[in-house]
Amino acid sequence: MIIKSKKTKWVTLSLLTLSVVSLLAHLSVTKFSTVNLVQYSAMPALRADFANVLGTSAQIIRNKKKIWGLVQSLQPLQPYANPRSSSYPVPNEQSNGFIYAKIFGGFAQIRSSICDLVTISRLLNATLVIPEIQESTRSKGISYKFKSFSYLYDEEEFIASLKNDLIIVKSLPDNLKAGRKRNEFPNFRPKSSASPNYYIEEILPKLKKANVIGLVLKDGGCLQSILPPSMAEFQRLRCRVAFHALQFRSDIQILGRQMVERLRGWGQPFLAFHPGLLRDTLAYHGCAELFQDVHTELIQYRRAQMIKRGIVNEELSVDSHLRRENGSCPLMPEEVCFVFKNTLPNYVTLSTVLHLVLADV
Q: Per 3-state DSSP, what percentage of the chain is helix, strand, and coil (rounded to 5)? A: 50, 10, 40
- What is the tens place of the pLDDT at every residue in 193-246? 889 999 999 999 999 999 999 999 987 788 988 888 888 889 999 989 998 999
Which residues, including other chains, have CB under 8 Å from residue 99's CB and lie 6 or more apart?
117, 120, 121, 124, 126, 127, 128, 129, 207, 212, 213, 214, 215
Kindly report the number of other CB atoms within 10 A of residue 198's CB atom.
Answer: 18
For residue 77, pLDDT beyond 80: no
**What is the rounded average pLDDT of the residues 268-284?**
77
- Taking the alpha carbons at both ends of the chain, their separation in whole angstroms is 47
Q: Which of 27-31, 33-37, 339-343, 356-360 has the lowest mean pLDDT?
A: 33-37
In the prediction, which pLDDT does 66 show? Answer: 61
Enumerate residues 6+ apart whose C-beta is below 8 A from 359. 274, 275, 276, 277, 278
Beta-ladder partners of 187: 214
**Residue 361, pLDDT above cutoff 60:** no
Share of the chain above pLDDT 90, in %: 24
Q: How far is CA 283 from CA 77, 217, 260, 280, 303, in A?
A: 37, 18, 32, 5, 5
For the cut 70, the answer to whether the pLDDT of residue 354 exceeds it is no
The 10s digit of each residue's pLDDT in 291-308 is: 777 778 888 888 898 888
Average pLDDT of the segment spanning 15-38: 54
pLDDT, the chain, mean: 77
Candidates 292, 315, 320, 291; CA nearest to 303 is: 315
Please answer whether residues 199 and 228 qualify as being in contact, where contact means their C-beta atoms are separated by less than 8 angstroms. Answer: no
* Residues belonging to the chain: 361
What pLDDT sits at residue 22?
64
pLDDT value, residue 56: 59
- Contacts with 260 (C-beta within 8 Å, 6 or more apart), sequence order: none
* All domains in the chain, ordered by first residue: 98-248 (3.40.50), 263-356 (no CATH)
pLDDT at 55: 55
Segment 172-202, tens digit of pLDDT: 998 898 888 888 899 999 988 889 999 999 9
3-state secondary structure 250-279: HHHHHHHHHHHHHHHHCCCCEEEECCCCCH
CB atoms within 10 A of CB 298: 18
What's 145's DSSP letter?
Answer: G
pLDDT band at 327 (very low <50, low <70, confident <90, very high): confident
- Residue 195: how many CA atoms within 13 Å on its side-chain side? 5
Percent of the chain with pLDDT over 70: 69
Q: What's the alpha-carbon Rg for the chain, to the nearest Å?
A: 29
Write down the pLDDT at residue 192.
81
For residues 163 and 171, is the Cβ–Cβ distance under 8 A?
A: no
What DSSP assignment string belongs to 210-264?
A: HSEEEEEE-SS-SS-SS--GGGHHHHHHHHHIIIII--B-HHHHHHHHHHHHHHH
Using the predicted structure, report yes or no on whether residue 42 has a pLDDT greater than 90: no
